[in-house]
Amino acid sequence: MANGLAVICSDSCGTKTYVESCFPDLVFKSDSLEDLCRKITLVLSSSKQMENYKARSRECREGFSEDTYSQVLNQILVSYWGIEFEALRLGTSQ
């Protein structure tokens, strides 16, 4: 997504959460080669479709900045282990 490309992934991987938010129509059933082929065909169906995916990708990319990632990671680390992200970057803990 960061490079302005459509992303196709299976419904059984962790990336699915991010892909679904931008490309819900491109998550395929992990046990279905036919569904994967449909998703690939959908993306490659026309240049207009590719431009649509590029635009959606750029819009989604804005929601996944380094700051956003750091904030979410920090929330998880603090809630589970009481460790802040900045402390990890400096090699110390609280």
Provide the domain count of the chain: 2
Report the distance separating Cα 5 and Cα 55, nearest Å. Answer: 9
Verify that 56 and 70 share a domain, yes or no.
no
What pLDDT does residue 63 have?
Answer: 64
Residue 58: HSE in the Cβ half-sphere, 13 Å Cα cutoff? 5
Determine the pLDDT at residue 2: 66
Are 53 and 70 in a shared domain?
A: no
Looking at the predicted structure, is the pLDDT value of residue 94 above 60?
no
Stretch 6-11: mean pLDDT: 91
**Residues in the chain, total:** 94
Residue 90 domain boundaries = 64-94
Token duo for residue 39: 């998703």
Q: How far apart are CA 56 and CA 42, in angstroms?
A: 15
> With bands split at pLDDT 50, 70 and 90, how would you rate the model's confidence at 92?
very low
Structure tokens at 28: 């395929």
Tens digit of each residue's pLDDT (9 = 90 or more) over 10-61 = 999 888 887 888 889 999 999 999 999 999 999 898 889 888 888 888 888 7
Helix or strand holding residue 37 (H, E): helix 33-44
pLDDT tens digits along 76-88:
888 888 877 665 4
Distance CA 1, CA 58 (A): 7
